[in-house]
Amino acid sequence: MEEEKIAMQVLRNIAMDAGRMLAERQRAIDALTLFRESSVETLEYIARKTDLEVLRDRSKLYLQRIKSGAVLSMSV
C-alpha cells in the first residue's frame, strides 16, 4: 500500500502548507478520512503541528470519530 502512504503524505503536506487557502487545507484533512484508521497517525501529526486552531480542531474531531468507530462520509 505504498500508494496510500504517498497520498496521505501529499495530503498532509497540503494541510500543513501555510501558503495555501484555508479551504484547500481543510479539504486535505477531509480527504484523509478516506483512509480511515490508516490516517490516524497523519491526523495526529496535523493536530500537533498545524498553525491554525480550526485545522487542529478539525483533525481532532476526525480522530475522535475514527477511534470511536463512527462512519465518516465526505458527502454529509
Per-residue pLDDT reduced to its tens digit, 9-63: 999 999 999 999 999 999 999 999 999 999 999 999 999 999 999 999 999 999 9
pLDDT for 76: 46
Q: Residues 6 or more apart from 70 whose CB is under 8 A from it?
A: none
Average pLDDT (62-74) is 81
pLDDT for 31: 96
pLDDT interval class at 72 (50, 70, 90): low
pLDDT for 74: 54
CA distance 60 to 66: 10
